[in-house]
A and B are shown apart, each in its own frame.
Chain A
Amino acid sequence: EIVLTQSPGTLSLSPGERATVSCRASQSVTSSSLAWYQQKPGQAPRLLISGASSRATGIPDSFSGSGSGTDFTLTISRLEPEDFAVYYCQQYGSSPPTFGGGTKVEIK
Chain B
Amino acid sequence: QVQLVESGGGVVQPGRSLRLSCVASGFTFSSYGMHWVRQAPGKGLQWVAVISYDGSNKYNADSVKGRFTISRDNSKNTLYLQMNSLSPEDTAVYYCAKATYAVGTNSELDYWGQGTLVTVSS
Give the B-binding residues of A (Cβ under 8 A): 30, 33, 35, 37, 43-47, 50-51, 56, 88, 90, 92-93, 95-102
Contact = CB atoms under 8 A, between A and B. Distances in A.
Contacts of A43: 114
Nearest to B59: A95
Size band of the interface chain B makes with A? 20 to 34
A67 B46 CA distance: 23
A83 B120 CA distance: 33
Interface in B7-28: none
A86 to B, nearest CB: 8
A92 B105 contact: yes
A47 B44 contact: no
B45 A50 contact: no
B49 to A, nearest CB: 10
B112 interface: yes
Q: B44, B108, B111, B115: which has the most chain A beta carbons within 10 Å?
A: B108
A102 B44 contact: yes
A87 to B, nearest CB: 11
A102 B40 CA distance: 13
